[in-house]
A and B are shown apart, each in its own frame.
Chain A
């Protein structure tokens, strides 16, 4: 935390200590994201401050003997500063987004919380939070109620799952661990018995899904998958592929996480990306037609041309 954040922190720290008498140094340090040494330094600073006059009776009294923090004579700043517009809006925008989630079970709590924060935040934040919105319609899918039920009841799921990269449909049994909604799209993180590992499944790629009458029992040390931006997760060991796209093919850079995007003029781009599946790249290159071409590796460029030639051949024979 930079020193510029120090005053706001102190104005939260003092009220925290007032409302949690006897709080322990390690616990408070953790909550405020500080080392114990930094926290003590904050306490020492607070101890130098107080009401005008600055006689011992005016100063804030704070001690941390044996790690237990006791604060007194700080009534003037006993309450935290109200929420700033950004702070209140960040919460309200997120709460409103939750309220749009289909199947969200805590609707009642949600509307009570929204009302409380709107009141606490004042008009500014309430207005912004209606102007900044996150749509979750992409999260809606037929699979959602079923996945939710399995999570709620702790049951195993049986699904048929489509992997576009390999153009493959596989049956899977999955012990659901967590429903993750990223940028309005829903994923199930769970223990996949086929992969014998934690896997992410996009709900809109579940061709069918049913709850089995089997208790979900993911291995105890299994952790829900981290969903990274784009959820595309190429690994650094995947081969780096370079494409050149024309203005009409620029959408590639907008839709897929690229490692490098270089402007070539006239709207053309050179993009570098990694993908686990060569099949996916081949499909992408064919789809691009004359709006993009593979620059490297040459082997992929060759494979794309061969595939296109073979496909054209079929058009000549099938009519």
Chain B
């Protein structure tokens, strides 16, 4: 944005804020320096663009069209423009400072620091040192997935989106059309939840599996989030009823396999430099993946399916 244009826009803001009654475009053209030299058509274009730019940075321009007036009038209503008076107690200021730092490495960093700047400009002192929390606590969320900004916008503007999505097994990429209800981070992974139009059902998608651009698939304001939806609950692991837990017997070399020993229900010497552990498990494949990592230091004695799962993995390595 050129200096001249910034000047014109600032003067336009001041002009529209200062006026009590809405001003017509022609009025504004006379009042704001920078428009005067333009011809009619150029002025119209300029004025349209300027209004859009002001709206983009969040300035509410009111348009009033009275039946007895030929041209619409414009103004900025002070109450809609101004940051309301906010005062923060010292403990509140410390909490705000902490919250603003959460996004420091994420795509919302700019929004958070913009908010702090406005608060300070409004005379609200925020405490960015951690203050009474003594700087002893730091929270951070990263949003490295390229899809995050577009999905945040979609949730904000309530418009459906379309994106290429890799199914769990990873072989194929399918296009999904989703009405997003929310974006949730769980254990460092971001998910988008919403109504899947193709399947006509609520679904959860992992942002890391979105393999291309997220594009709008409808107009803003067309997504309705059902009132009883709990986006966090949708991402939480599903309770699949009581899982059958069994006990595996695993021989481990003395002094090795600390990780396995930590979760073992029982440890007993098995002789010849080996100990025998009892470990409860639900999924033999998960157990096998873990035990296989200890190579020749751990051997599953039973049950047979867990033992076979490890052997299969080890043979897989050699295949």
Contact = CB atoms under 8 A, between A and B. Distances in A.
Whether A associates with B in a native complex is: yes
A147 to B, nearest CB: 10
A286 B102 contact: no
A135 B133 CA distance: 22
A199 B317 CA distance: 35
A229 interface: yes
Contacts of A291: 316
Nearest to B137: A179
Contacts of A53: 31
A133 B317 contact: no
B219 to A, nearest CB: 17
Given A45-B3, A83-B115, A98 B172 contact: no
Interface stretch (A61-69, A181-189, A235-243, A270-278): A181-189
Contacts of A193: none
Q: Contact residue range for chain B?
A: 35 or more
A52 B83 contact: no
A162 B86 contact: no
Given A91-B115, A95-B95, A133 B142 contact: no
A309 B292 CA distance: 11
Nearest to A181: B139
B315 A312 contact: yes
Given A87-B111, A98-B99, A132-B155, A167 B259 contact: yes
B112 A80 contact: no
Contact of B118 (A12, A109, A184, A267): A12
B232 A162 contact: no
Contacts of B282: none
A138 interface: yes
Interface string B110-143: 0110110111111100000000110111111110
Contacts of A88: 115
Given A48-B7, A81-B83, A81-B118, A131 B231 contact: yes
Interface string B159-201: 0000000100111100000000111111111000000000000
Given A106-B95, A109-B95, A183 B182 contact: no
Contacts of B3: 45
A302 to B, nearest CB: 12
A289 B184 contact: no
B91 interface: yes
A168 interface: yes
B6 interface: yes
B182 A133 contact: yes
Contacts of A123: none
Contacts of A4: 1
B317 A289 contact: yes
Contacts of B136: 151-152, 176-179
Ranked 7 nearest A-B pairs via Cβ? A290-B316, A289-B316, A283-B293, A289-B313, A247-B170, A183-B188, A52-B31
25 contacts: A14-B121, A15-B121, A16-B120, A50-B11, A79-B81, A79-B82, A80-B119, A82-B118, A86-B114, A94-B139, A95-B99, A106-B133, A117-B86, A131-B231, A133-B182, A152-B136, A167-B259, A178-B135, A181-B139, A183-B188, A282-B293, A286-B317, A289-B313, A290-B316, A315-B299
